[in-house]
Amino acid sequence: MPMNIWENLPKPFLILAPMEGVTDIMFRQVIAKAGRPDLFFTEFTNVSSYASEKGRWNALERLRVAPTDSPIIAQIWGKNPAHFSETCYALESLGFSGVDLNFGCPDKHVNKAGGGAAMINTPELAVACYQNAKQSTNLPVSIKTRLGWANPSEYQTWLSTLLKQHPAALTVHLRTKKEMSKVPAHYELIPDIITLRNQISPQTKLIINGDIRDRAHALELHAKHPEVDGFMIGRGVFQNPYCFTDHTPTREKLIELLKLHLDLYEKLRLTRSSYEPLKHFFKIYINNFPGAKEIRAKLMETHSIPEAREIIKDL
Ligand X SMILES: Cc1cc2nc3c(=O)[nH]c(=O)nc-3n(C[C@H](O)[C@H](O)[C@H](O)COP(=O)(O)O)c2cc1C
- Where in the sequence numbering do the catalytic residues fall? 105
17 binds ligand X (CB under 6 A): yes
78 binds ligand X (CB under 6 A): no
DSSP for 84-104, written as a single string: HHHHHHHHGGGT-SEEEEEE-
Among 218, 233, 243, 284, binds ligand X (CB under 6 A): 233
Instruction: Specify the stretch interacting with ligand X by CB under 6 A; choose among 55-63, 118-126, 203-211, 247-255.
Output: 203-211
C-beta of 231 vs 265, nearer to ligand X: 231
3-state DSSP helix/strand/coil % of the chain, to nearest 5: 50, 15, 35
Pick out residues in 80-109 that bind ligand X (CB under 6 A).
102, 104-105
Among 173, 186, 197, 205, binds ligand X (CB under 6 A): 173
C-beta of 205 vs 255, nearer to ligand X: 205
Among 22, 39, 99, 133, binds ligand X (CB under 6 A): 22
Please choose, from the candidates 199, 136, 138, the residue with its C-alpha nearest in 3D space to the C-alpha of residue 166. Answer: 199
Q: 141: left (phi > 0), else alpha (psi -120 to 50), else beta?
A: beta
- The CA–CA distances, whole Å, from 261 to 71, 244, 269, 281, 283 equal 21, 18, 12, 9, 13
Residue nearest ligand X by beta-carbon distance: 234
62 binds ligand X (CB under 6 A): no
Compute the distance between CA of residue 61 and CA of residue 75 in angstroms, rounded to an integer: 13
18 binds ligand X (CB under 6 A): yes
Please choose, from the candidates 253, 255, 263, 243, the residue with its C-alpha nearest in 3D space to the C-alpha of residue 282. Answer: 255
Residues 136-165, one symbol each (x = binds ligand X by CB under 6 A, - = not), give --------x---------------------
Instruction: Specify the stretch interacting with ligand X by CB under 6 A; choose among 18-26, 90-98, 154-162, 260-268.
Output: 18-26
C-beta of 81 vs 104, nearer to ligand X: 104
* Cβ 226 vs Cβ 191: under 8 Å: no
Compute the distance between CA of residue 153 and CA of residue 155 in angstroms, rounded to an integer: 5
C-beta of 75 vs 176, nearer to ligand X: 75
| Min dist. Cβ of residue 54 to ligand X (A) | 21
212 binds ligand X (CB under 6 A): yes
* Cβ 213 vs Cβ 184: under 8 Å: no
214 binds ligand X (CB under 6 A): no
**E strand or H helix that includes residue 83:** helix 81-91
64: CB partners within 8 A, 6+ apart? 25, 270
61 binds ligand X (CB under 6 A): no
Residues in the site for ligand X, rule: CB under 6 A? 17-22, 43-44, 75, 102, 104-105, 144, 173, 209-212, 233-236
